[in-house]
Amino acid sequence: MFNNFFHKLASPKHFYRIAGNLIPWLAGACLLLVLAGLYYGLLVAPPDYQQGDSYRIMFIHVPAAWMSLFIYVVMAVAGAIGLIWRMKLAEVMLISSAPIGASFTFLALVTGSIWGKPMWGTWWVWDARLTSELILLFLYLGVIALHSAIDDRRIAARAVAILALVGVINVPIIHYSVEWWNTLHQGPTVTKFDKPSIHLSMLIPLLLMAVAFKLYYAFVVLMRARCEVLERERNAGWVRELAEEK
């Protein structure tokens, strides 16, 4: 049963149909969680005893930073699958994810800079966490530029897969930078082994926003992947049948 499902999912035709069915549900769930997260984060959670209300940008900054790492790992895994098994949909997911990951990385950098101004007294410092996150943005942009520069889609897919796999070494550097080096950036508060050093009233909206951002990525990447599949399969019979139905 499961093998049959995954076999169908690997087929561009069935992927297009399954993704189309999932997108409205993912988008609806994302909207509900964003509204709940913003309500609890902006209106219910109390002010921080040190930072006051300025900490509330955390509910955008932290999930965006998490997503910037998560999406790059997804790209690296998709790149490995594409290189080893030559799966077209893995190549599609890789390149479809890159602009979304770049957007989350840019959002994390901008919101971090806004948050850092009242806390550190400056918009930017060459801190280990900030610098490695900036490198991640350049990696995303490099994947996008490299894919656009090569006309042959299969060659482009292999090239960006290699770049994604090489660049994934930056992900643990970003994650552990606050532990490996002395930085201005605060250490981990949610992913501690003992217990999160953040009050439950702040943790709940943060986790709601984190799940909402993941759902946002899911439905947007499926939308982009469907467009990429149609472009790649434009000469296939099922695409012509689909065009005739429209």
Is residue 246 assigned to a domain? no
Is residue 102 assigned to a domain? yes
d(CA 24, CA 28): 6
pLDDT value at residue 182? 54
Is residue 219 assigned to a domain? yes
pLDDT value at residue 193? 42
Count of structural domains within the chain: 1
pLDDT value at residue 225? 97
* Residues of the chain where predicted confidence (pLDDT) is lower than 50: 2, 192-193
Closest to 89 (Cα-Cα) out of 15, 164, 4, 6: 15
Closest to 87 (Cα-Cα) out of 235, 242, 244, 232: 232
Is residue 6 assigned to a domain? no
d(CA 61, CA 58): 5
**Cα torsion at 173, 175, 180, 185 (round to 10°)?**
120
Reported pTM = 0.92
pLDDT value at residue 133? 95
Task: Identify the domain containing residue 116 by its residue range.
Answer: 22-43+57-233
Is residue 49 assigned to a domain? no
Instruction: Give the rounded percent of residues in the chain with a pLDDT score beyond 70.
Output: 88
Is residue 177 assigned to a domain? yes
pLDDT value at residue 188? 57
Is residue 206 assigned to a domain? yes
pLDDT value at residue 2? 44
- Please return the burial class of 134, using the count of CB atoms within 10 Å of its CB with bins 0-12, 13-18 and 19+: middle
d(CA 93, CA 71): 10
Is residue 66 assigned to a domain? yes
